[in-house]
Amino acid sequence: MRKPPAWRGPVLVLVALAAIFAVAPRLYSNESVLFTMMTFMALAQGLNLLYGFTGYLPFGYVGFFGTGAYATSLLVTFTSLPVIAAVLLGGLAAVVVGLILGPLFRLSGPYFSIANLAASQIIYNVVANEALKPITGGPYGIKIEHVYAPTASYVTMLAILLAATALAAYFRRSRFGLGLRAMHQDPISASLAGVDIVRERLIAWLASAAIAGLAGGAYAWNLSVFYPEAVFTLQISVFAIVFALFGGVGTVIGPLLGAALLYAFYAGIGVSAPQYFELLYGLLIVLLVLFLPNGLASLLTRRKVDVL
């Protein structure tokens, strides 16, 4: 039997995703639930680019999301750029923040996560500071409702989700991703084998930051009026982490499935009873770590099914 071409799986996933979210608004009227679901799918996938392939868990991932949201909103407020350009520059702003935070990679595992969390809190405290009220609106939030465009921002978010998924597929199937995973397992052997681990890791980090920044920009566009808390709450990091873990990090479809299933669950019961949801997903995390550390996807990979 001939092996199917390498591009077939990724293309199938991308086409399926695009088709589902293009048709879904006709079948399900609450478009904001669909929009937020795509946001978390994009974030879970973006986080997967770093955590799934390098083992570095960016606990302050929300910092990039908030940076993107605010950069986009400020550009829309103070310049006459088209909104879509502002969203792209929001992604760029997150990449710049990622470059500044590059030295965090001197730290290992959990210290990296904690330092990253501290960094995101610093960004939040600066943006939401009373002293910056004339520029960012401080704790009173920001308004860009004059560009509010639900359909355009929906399409933009879908494009970001597809881009994140394409990147993950590239990481999963390319030599580059192989290098990253080798580094994750044994950095010294990987660098002896010729993997430029500092450079590759930085690329994964910046790609991950860019996805969060872009998603933040599109999210801000869709909300158009929001408080800093809405785009900097630690809950966003937490959701991205749990959703990705649940589906299975290091795969392409894992984070997508995890985010779609758990967010649907959250939209069903979590909004009206958040503490029940918090209790359940806390329990879910504990059980996952103890019994299924590689997520839903590992149920298939254990049976030697080739999961993308």
Partner 1 sequence: MALLEYALIGGILYGIFFSLVGIGLNLIFGVMRIINLAHGQFIMLGGFGAYLLARGLGLNPLFGIPLAIAGGIVIGYPLYYGVVPRLQKSQDPEMLSFILFFGIAQMIEAVAVFAFGADQRSLPQDALGSGNIGVLGQEFPDSWWVACLVSVLAILGLYLYFSRTRLGFATRAIMADRDEARATGIDVDRVSAIALIIGIALAGIAGVFVPYLIGSVSSSIGDGLTTTSFAIIIIGSLGNPLGTVVGGLVFGIGTMLMQTYYSSWSNLAPYALLLAIVLVRPSGLLGKAVRRA
Residues at the interface with partner 1 (CB under 8 A) = 55, 57, 103-111, 113-115, 117-119, 121-122, 125-126, 129-131, 187-188, 191, 197, 234, 238, 241, 245, 275-276, 278-279, 281-286, 288-290, 293
Q: CB-wise, 19 or 279, nearer to partner 1?
A: 279
DSSP string, 268-291: IIITT-HHHHHHHHHHHHHHHHHH
CB of 79 to partner 1, least distance (A): 28
User: Hey, is 143 helix, strand or coil?
Assistant: strand
CA–CA distance, 35 with 21 (Å, rounded to integer): 9
CB of 297 to partner 1, least distance (A): 17
Task: Provide the CB-side half-sphere exposure for 265 (13 A, CA).
Answer: 15
CA–CA distance, 90 with 212 (Å, rounded to integer): 9
269-278: long-range contacts, CB 8 A cutoff, minimum separation 24: none
CB of 8 to partner 1, least distance (A): 32
**Longest C-alpha distance within the chain, in Å?**
67
Q: CB-wise, 3 or 106, nearer to partner 1?
A: 106
Q: CB-wise, 51 or 226, nearer to partner 1?
A: 51
Q: CB-wise, 1 or 290, nearer to partner 1?
A: 290
CB atoms closer than 10 angstroms to residue 85: 13
CB of 243 to partner 1, least distance (A): 13
Degrees, nearest 5: CA angle 284-285-291: 85
Q: CB-wise, 169 or 183, nearer to partner 1?
A: 183
CB of 91 to partner 1, least distance (A): 23
Q: CB-wise, 90 or 295, nearer to partner 1?
A: 295
CB of 152 to partner 1, least distance (A): 35
CA of residue 73 relative to chain centroid, distance: 19
